[in-house]
Amino acid sequence: MAVTGDETESATTGDMSAYQIHSPTSSLSQVMSNSHGSLPSPQELTEEASRKRELRLMKNRESARQCRRRRKEYVRSLETRLAMIENQNKKLTEELEHLKESCLYGTPDCSS
DNA sequence: CGGATCGTGCGTCACCAAGG
DNA sequence: CCTTGGTGACGCACGATCCG
């Protein structure tokens, strides 16, 4: 029916360039070697926690997308397989009916 | 036409399993 | 033990369709 979620996605998250900017190493090193070489202040700690959270959310967002894509492909493959099997079943059923007829009327197709 | 309902995708949270 | 990625569950937003 309605398949237009892409619009929502692009509006809210856009591309993943932001994700590449916030790499774990870069955010971590910012705190480990803060500007004045001293222990991080409470302010810096909360900022770091916030950065970590944002990073985790971004990664999980991407994971969820991949997960959904894989699941969709899997369902599609199952549907394809189902269609093939149903088709095969139909052909075999038809063949069986022909063989039954052959046996019934004693045509050469009936080998038993 | 406008509200109700349905189908779909998304982001987030919580949990789990695997790896370091 | 901590980190990380995968995934089920939940709620939300949005477009399509139905119906009075």
Dump pLDDT digits (tens) for A3-35. 333 333 333 333 333 323 233 333 333 333 343
Q: Which pLDDT score, from 0 to 100, does residue A20 have?
A: 30
Percent over 70 (pLDDT), chain A: 59
What integer best gives the mean pLDDT of chain A? 70
Average pLDDT over residues A34-54: 72
Q: What is the rounded (10 degree) CA torsion for A67, A73, A75, A81? A: -150
Mapping DSSP onto H, E and C, the string for chain A reads CCCCHHHHHHHHCCCCHHHHHCCHHHHHHHHHCCCCCCCCCHHHHHHHHHHHHHHHHHHHHHHHHHHHHHHHHHHHHHHHHHHHHHHHHHHHHHHHHHHHHHHHHCCCCCCC
Predicted local distance difference test score (pLDDT) of residue A24: 33
Residues 6+ apart with CB under 8 A from A18: A58
Residues 44-103 of A with CB under 7 A from strand B: 57-58, 60-61, 64-65, 68, 72
Which nucleotide lies at the shortest CA–C1' distance from A9? B10
Which residues does A34 contact at the CB level (< 8 Å), separation at least 6? A40, A44
Question: pTM to 2 decimals?
Answer: 0.65
CA of A86 to C1' of C14 (A): 36
Top pLDDT among A102 and A8 is at: A102
C-beta within 7 A of nucleic chain C, residues 43-102 of A: 59-60, 63-64, 66-67, 70-71
